[in-house]
Amino acid sequence: MSFSLEGKTVLVTGGSRGIGKSIVLELAQAGANVAFTYARSVEAAEDLVQEIKDNGGKALAFQADAVNYERAEEVIKDVVAEFGSLDVLVNNAGITKDNLIMRMGEDQWDDVIETNLKSVFNYSKAVIRTMMKQRKGSIINISSVVGVSGNAGQTNYSASKAGVIGFSKSLAKEVASRNIRVNVIAPGYITTDMTGKLDEKVLDGITSATPLGRAGEAVEIAHSVQFLASDASSYITGVVLNVDGGMAM
């Protein structure tokens, strides 16, 4: 069975850059109608929509604060109105505000937990009624290797991403009887514009801690998302897929 997404509609949160952008492009290339949310960069979002349309695909972009539940409901409603269904939700929106806990402000904790964890609740809750009516759906939540194994200086980020895993396993049990699957992808160190700003010594430390000896590419996460979004993974739910070059072994 192929990983084709022909006839499916996908929504990706945080889809205008980095891993999210790669996911949007790959799923559109696989034949899906793609919608995505973004926080600030209108120009980047418009460029991405145009790129997909230029390649024969269909795309919609929504400016949305991931922590706003009412906005999540509006986005879901608009996507279904435009495309007629919503088959796949990819919860990708996330931020980092790293610090040692002795120096971490309450705002740094709250911002990361709200953006990374509450957003997953918001969009999952908002889409679940639609998927139940369809009696099918796939929810794919992007966690992190640090949600599995932890990392010094990232208590807020690690807690949010570990929370995504617990949330996903519980939701998978709630909705499996309606043929709705919920899975997690836990990336390791992935090369993006944001991570490109890291010090070379830090990068060397990360690659030396990765058994495959290199950073991952955003498209490698996108390929994993494509698999879990497709019917090829129809008997997989409640799984955490580590796409991390072996870091979590």
Per-residue pLDDT, averaged over 19-25, amounts to 97
Domain assignment present for 248: no
Domain assignment present for 131: yes
Domain assignment present for 1: no
Amino acid at 96: T
Q: Tokens at residue 44, please?
A: 């980047």
Domain assignment present for 51: yes
Q: How many CB atoms lie within 10 A of CB 107?
A: 9
CATH of the domain at 112: 3.40.50.720
- Verify whether residue 189 is a known catalytic residue: no
Mean pLDDT, rounded, of the chain: 95
Domain assignment present for 4: no
Q: Tokens at residue 163, please?
A: 């929370």
Enumerate the H helices of the chain as residue ranges: 18-29, 42-54, 69-83, 106-113, 119-134, 145-149, 155-175, 200-208, 218-229
- pLDDT (0 to 100) of residue 2: 67
- pLDDT (0 to 100) of residue 195: 63
Domain assignment present for 105: yes
- pLDDT (0 to 100) of residue 204: 80
Provide the residue range defining the domain that includes 29.
9-243
Domain assignment present for 2: no
Residues 69, 157, 189, 235: which is the catalytic one? Answer: 157
Q: pLDDT (tens digit, 9 = 90+) per residue, 58-97? A: 999 999 999 999 999 999 999 999 999 999 999 999 999 9
What is the domain count for the chain?
1
Domain assignment present for 40: yes
Q: Tokens at residue 136, please?
A: 């099918």
Q: pLDDT (tens digit, 9 = 90+) per residue, 108-158? A: 999 999 999 999 999 999 999 999 999 999 999 999 999 999 999 999 999
Amino acid at 6: E
Q: How confident is the model at residue 44 (pLDDT cuts 50, 70, 90)?
A: very high
CB 164 within 8 A of CB 48: no
